[in-house]
Amino acid sequence: MIGADSRPAQKKHALQTLCDLCYTLQEDPGILVAIAAAGAIPPLVQLLGLYASDGNKLLSPDVEELLSPEDLQCFPVAALLALSENDDNTVSIAGAGAVPRVVQLLLPDAPSYMLEPAAALLYNLTRVNAEVAGTVIPAGAVPRLVLLLGPGSTPATQWQAAGVLELLSVHAGNRATVAAAGAIPMLVQLLGSGSSSEAQRSAAWALDHLSGDVANRATIAAAGAVPLLVQLLGPGSTGSVLVVAAAALANLAQNADNMVAIAAAGAIPLLVNLLGPGSSPDPDVEQCTAGFLSNLTIDDDQNTAAIVAAGGFSALVRLGARSTDPQTQAAIASFLSLFTPFEVAVAMRQDRQRA
C-alpha cells in the first residue's frame, strides 16, 4: 500500500500503521525481520525522496493534499529507523539507496521531528559495516553533520551527528575530510558542560580518533580541547566518558606541547583519583589511566614528581596487586622502573603518612 501506485489516503494510512507497528514491536526482532521480508524497505526508502530538497514543494503533487510535509518526512524515516535496529535490515536499507536520501534530509533548519530520526538512521547505517560507511562521505554527509553539531540542534541530534563523525573517523582515510570540514572546533564545543553525556562521549571519541593523525593534535589542542577533556576526568563523569577522555588526552599527549598543557590543566591528580580507594573499579578506566600516567613520566621528571605527590605511587602499586590485565601491568612496571628500591620504599611510606 505504500508503493508508487497507492492512492494518497491509502499511502498515508499505510505509513502511519507501519510506523506505529515498527515502533511498538521493535523489541521483537522477529517482527522487524518479517516486516522487511514483506517488502517494506524499498518503498519506504523511495518515500524519503518524495519531499523536495528545498524543503518546500512536494515532487508528487497528487499526494500533497493528504500527505503533509510532516507525514512525508517523519513517517518513512521513523519506520526505517525502527527497522534498522536489525543489522540485516540495515544492510537492506542501505542497499535500497537510503544513504544519499537520508543525507539530503540533514538540514540545520529542518524540524527536530525529522532531524533526530534521520541522524539516528544515518548512524545505524554507518555502523553496520565498512562498505556502507564508505558511501556516507561521498553522499556529502560530513559538512551537513558538522552543521548539526551546533547549538541550534537538539541534544539528540548533536549526539547522533557526533556519533556518525566518530564512526567515520575510525578510518584513517576519512580523518582529513572530517577535519577539513571544520569538525574539530565543533566537536570540542560539545565537550562542555552544556552538552549531554552522550554527546560528550561521542565528541570525545571522534576527537580521539582524529588525534590519531599527527597533524590534528595541535589543531585539537588549539581549539581548547585539553581543559575540557581534563574536566571530563572529574567525579561527575560516567565510566564510559572517563575512558574516552583519558584515551583522547593520551593521544594528544604524544605532542610535547600538549603534554605540558595537559599537566598544567590539572590532569595528574584527577587521573590518580580514578585509581583511588573511593573510585569504582572499572578495568577499562584502570588500564587507560595506568597507561596514561606511565606515558606522562617519559622524559619528564616534573610529571613524575607530580604523580608521586598526588599519591599516584601507592595507587599504581595497589592496582598492580589486583589487576590481571597485561597492558595495565606493563604500564605499572614501566612506571616503577623509574625508581630504585629505596625510592619505592620512601614513596610508599610517604603515601601511608598522607593517608
Q: Could you report the per-residue pLDDT of 180-206, keeping only the tens digit for each?
A: 999 999 999 999 988 998 999 999 999
pLDDT digits (tens, 9 = 90+) for 119-151: 999 999 999 889 999 999 999 999 999 999 999
Q: What is the pLDDT of residue 237?
A: 81
Q: Are 14 and 22 in contact (CB under 8 A)?
A: no
Q: Can you tell me the distance from the alpha carbon of 176 to that of 66, in angstroms, rounded to the nearest whole number?
A: 45
Polymer length in residues for the chain: 355
The angle formed by the CA atoms of residues 117, 167 and 235, to the nearest 5 degrees, is 90
Question: Number of helices (H) and strands (E), helices first, in the chain?
Answer: 23, 0
Name the amino acid, one letter, at 341.
P
How many C-beta atoms surround the C-beta of residue 121 within 10 A? 27
| DSSP, res 280 | P
Q: Are 314 and 273 in contact (CB under 8 A)?
A: no
Q: What is the pLDDT of residue 175?
A: 96
Which stretches of the chain drop beneath a pLDDT of 70? 1-29, 49-73, 278-281, 351, 353-355
Q: Which residue has the cell 577539513?
A: 180
